[in-house]
């Protein structure tokens, strides 16, 4: 069993750990230790029936434990292999990405992209506690967006931003959106995104300092079936605070007049 633990990839160990099955392998090791102990304590029976007969007797005795374990091992390994075969999520089309400035470290770019994607995912899933951790919570926070009726909304300072988004997001499923503003058509159930697939292209990074970056890009937001997309122009100003990137400014303008088929992206 130690051999299995050693040859597992880091990602596979993470997957197994999430579903709480690392202890399972330790249990399996315990079974084999049990067999070894039984062998030492029952030498006489072992000599009379032979090693083969002794082991068969004990394995039959443990059949109810071992068979479920075998099935579980196969299931876990298949799940791990399947997860490892899935392609990594692409946050942005990097072929069309442009980075300007002297602070274009790739690790910083990846950290910024993770925050961009996570904030959007949390918002579309209407998960307030998840969403607010990615925002600068200060008086200079700002958000602006358009609505289907042609109006726009702007919120200045974290207090205004927080009050508006908290009231709009709500715990999933408790309140329906009155209009198709901020890209949200209606309330959704927990952890179900109103736009499960997001495609970002033509992203521009402009680093002013090592801790301040301006960004803009074209974004395509899918319908729940991931078959049709709505275009939006996105801008962000991000600041690095205590070693973590946060979003200070969100500007998002949607073209609600037309929907784009998946094969036209």
Residues 149-188: b if buried by 16+ CB within 10 A, e if exposed: eeeeeebeebeebbeebeebbeebeeeebeeebbbbbebb
Hey, which CATH number is domain 94-264, 3.90.1150.10, 3.40.640.10, 3.40.50.1820, 3.10.450.50?
3.10.450.50
Beta strands 98-100 and 142-146, pairing class: unpaired
Q: Is the pLDDT of residue 5 over 50?
A: no
Mean predicted confidence (pLDDT) in 162-184: 68
What mean pLDDT is reported for the chain? 77
For position 122, what pLDDT does the model report?
Answer: 95
pLDDT of residue 23: 52
Give the tens place of pLDDT for each residue, 111-142: 999 999 999 999 999 999 999 999 999 999 99
């Amino acid at each position: 069993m130690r051999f299995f633990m050693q040859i597992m990839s880091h990602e596979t160990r993470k997957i197994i750990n999430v579903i709480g099955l690392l202890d399972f392998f330790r249990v399996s090791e315990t079974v084999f230790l049990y067999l070894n102990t039984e062998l030492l304590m029952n030498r006489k029976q072992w000599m009379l029936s032979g090693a083969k007969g002794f082991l068969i007797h004990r394995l039959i005795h443990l059949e109810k434990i071992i068979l479920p374990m075998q099935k579980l091992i196969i299931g876990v390994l298949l799940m791990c292999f399947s997860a490892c075969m899935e392609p990594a999520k692409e946050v942005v089309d990097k072929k069309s990405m442009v980075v300007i400035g002297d602070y274009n470290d790739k690790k910083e770019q990846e950290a910024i992209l993770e925050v961009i994607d996570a904030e959007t995912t949390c918002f579309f899933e209407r998960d307030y506690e998840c969403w607010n951790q990615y925002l600068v919570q200060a008086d200079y926070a700002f958000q602006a967006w358009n609505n289907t009726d042609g109006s726009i909304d702007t919120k200045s300072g974290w207090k205004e931003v927080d009050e508006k988004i908290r009231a709009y997001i709500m715990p999933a499923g408790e309140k329906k959106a009155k209009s198709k503003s901020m890209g949200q058509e209606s309330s959704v159930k927990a952890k179900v995104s109103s736009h499960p697939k997001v495609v970002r292209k033509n992203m521009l990074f402009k680093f002013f300092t090592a801790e301040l970056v301006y960004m803009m890009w074209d974004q395509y937001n899918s319908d729940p079936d991931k078959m049709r997309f709505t275009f939006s122009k996105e801008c962000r100003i991000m600041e690095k605070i205590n070693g973590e990137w946060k979003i200070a400014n969100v500007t998002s303008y949607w073209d609600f007049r037309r929907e784009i088929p998946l094969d036209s992206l």
